Amino acid sequence: MVAITATNSATPSLQATLSRARFEQARREADRAEAEAQDLRTRADEAEVDSKKSQEKVNQLASSLAQDTTYSPPTRLGTNEVPPQVQSFVQRLYTATSPKFAAMGNPLKTDANASPVVNTQGQSTGKILNVQA
């Protein structure tokens, strides 16, 4: 006897079901990756905007600093010579204390009639010299 078996063609095969499951999983992973890429693009755009704002602020501060006249370097003020009153005071102070220096074994020599010392920039720096090495 021949047995006739009925086959149900409406039921998908196991292989087709697995293929469909893999396809759906791959689609979900692709969607997730696309969403993550979009998030990264958004954050990169925000970082670029922040960077541009920061650069504009740096440029603004640099230009305001260039125009700021609150601080003027000494070269803009004129000469940097030591005023004669200060030279005179230091010389009198040294004259008054030189015996104590000599007693301590540190005899600094001075010539009261010496002309003021001029540095390499042509500025007067004072009259007192330590001529001992």
> Quick one: DSSP state of residue 3?
-
Render pLDDT for 8-33 as a digit per residue (tens, 0 to 9): 556 778 888 889 999 999 999 999 99
pLDDT band at 120 (very low <50, low <70, confident <90, very high): confident
Which run of H or E residues covers position 126? strand 124-126
Q: Please, which pLDDT band fits residue 129 given cuts at 50, 70 and 90?
A: low
Residue type (1 letter), 115: S
Q: Flag the least confident range among 10-14, 30-34, 101-105, 124-128.
A: 101-105
Give the percent of the chain with pLDDT over 90.
29
**Residue ranges covered by each domain of the chain:** 13-71, 79-126
Rounded to the nearest angstrom, the gap between the alpha carbon of residue 110 and the centroid of all alpha carbons in its chain is: 48
Nearest-angstrom CA–CA distance, 56 and 50: 10
Confidence (pLDDT) at 21: 92
Looking at per-residue confidence, does 21 or 104 come out higher? 21
* Structure confidence at residue 76 (pLDDT): 45
Q: pTM of the entire structure?
A: 0.38
Task: Name the band, by pLDDT with cuts 50, 70 and 90, for residue 83.
Answer: confident
Tens of pLDDT, residue by residue over 85-98, are: 888 888 888 887 77
Q: Which DSSP string corresponds to 29-56?
A: HHHHHHHHHHHHHHHHHHHHHHHHHHHH
